[in-house]
Amino acid sequence: MEQALREAAMADAARLLEKFLNQEVAPMLGEPPLQPGERLHSHPQRVVATVLGPVRIIRAYYRGFQGGRFPLDEALGLRGRYTPAVRQLMCWAGAMDGSFDLASETLRRFAGLNIPGRQIQRMVNATAPTVAGWMQTRPVVPRARPPTILNIQADMTGIPMRPEELEGIKGKQPDGTAKTRQIKVGCIFTQVRDANGQPQREPSSSIYLTGFCEVTDFGLRLREEARRQGLASAGTVVFLGDGAEWIWNLASDCFRGAVQIVDFYHACEHLHRLCTLYEPDEQRCASLFKKWRGRLRNNGLARLLGEVEARAHVLDKATREQLVTETAYFRKNAARMAYRTFRRRGYFIGSGAVEGACRHVVAQRTKLSGMRWFCCGAENVLTFRTLIKSNLFDDYYRLNAAA
């Protein structure tokens, strides 16, 4: 009974909207300014999908030297057979559901719209470039107060690609080929302190970016976004990464003066490898790791490395060579591993924000079983996901009502 009442109410509302568009809006617009050689051709009828259901619109068709046009369609923001409100729903569902077919089912069940998944995919692909342009050029919104600490994080993850997109790409397969292409992910956010004085992300402050672009281009995009979030006026800028060379090159080039911190949990992964070189026994290795982890967390890296070197004589030549590689990682990043100092200053020491973005922004939509993407298709979907996850979806459509 509830479903029947809902359908009846929607049908009545659709008829009211149809009457309003045909009897009120069309006459209100009147004759449009004609272009040279243009004249009224006919009054065809068109079925348009609205959030209330399908409606039939009779509109004037004008034809001239430049082709034909429907002024009423332009005034109402119609594209294809969809109103702006329906297009919003299509793009949201297409980006946030696990597939375009699932998005179609979601719209059918929750909005009463029968739109094929292929049409949703086409709408996302057609709209995303405009959204991406707006994201990169949108005006700066004045902040009530400058951020005390502005956090910037970057990482990289792989997306499974179609064979055409993998030509010439080196990967981790035994034959050197790749099954994925790396996409860069960035996250910018401000922070506050909780009741216990611990740093917490400020609610709704996270802005996300993704891109298949080169490091230089991605760094410029990340810096421009940081500028919108108060980079120039921030008391402190903190850049967190997992220790990859490209991340620190980006940080040094685009965020000079920022406090650079190696993610503590990635550092611990390297520390665990050191422990396994010394202690093949699992229990003794776990005990040594716990001890050294505590030292690393409490600014004891120099002492830790001294103990590592003191133990090196018990290792064979091959193991010592591996030891040199692992200790080089810590020596290179020593200034970025003063974790006790960072914590006392109220900085995050973990890159969980961008690690989480690799999962909830990228992986949950593009890395499901059986998926293979073209770069442009993945970028278009992720454009909407970053827009939504950054809480900018409503802002975009408020400022671009006919988008």
List, for residues 123-177, the tens digit of each pLDDT value.
999 999 999 999 999 988 888 889 999 999 999 999 999 999 998 888 777 777 7
Listed residues 279, 309, 336: the one ending a domain: 336
Name the domain boundary from 102, 135, 168: 135
Give me the DSSP letters along 49-89.
EETTEEEEEE--EEEETTEEE-HHHHHHT-BTTB-HHHHHH
CA distances, 96 to each of 33, 45, 211, 258, 388 (Å): 41, 34, 18, 34, 9
Cα–Cα distance between 185 and 212 in angstroms, integer?
9
11 belongs to a structural domain = yes
> Mean of the per-residue pLDDT values for the chain?
91
301-302-307 Cα angle (round to 5): 95
298-349 pLDDT tens trace = 999 999 988 888 877 777 778 878 888 888 999 999 999 999 999 999 999 9
Q: Say if 246 falls within a structural domain.
A: yes
**What average pLDDT score do residues 5-15 get?**
93
Domain boundary among 78, 110, 135: 135
In this prediction, residue 14 has a pLDDT band, given cuts at 50, 70 and 90, of very high
Helix H segments across 229-316? 245-254, 264-278, 282-297, 301-311
Total domains, the chain: 3
Residue 129 φ then ψ, to 5°: -60, -40
Alpha-carbon distance of 41 to 64, in angstroms, equals 9
Looking at the structure, tell me whether residues 182 and 319 fall in a common domain. Answer: no
Q: How far apart are CA 96 and CA 98, in angstroms?
A: 7
Specify whether 241 is located in the same domain as 368: yes
Q: What is the pLDDT of residue 311?
A: 74
Are 358 and 219 contained in the same domain? Answer: yes
Stretch 247-254: mean pLDDT: 96
Short-list 333, 295, 140, 300, CA closest to 233:
140
> DSSP state, 363?
I
**Range(s) of the domain holding residue 318:** 265-336
Give the domain CATH number at 152.
3.30.420
CA pair distance 71, 227, nearest whole angstrom? 40
Asked if 148 and 272 sit in the same domain, the reply is no
Q: Are residues 161 and 237 in the same domain?
A: yes
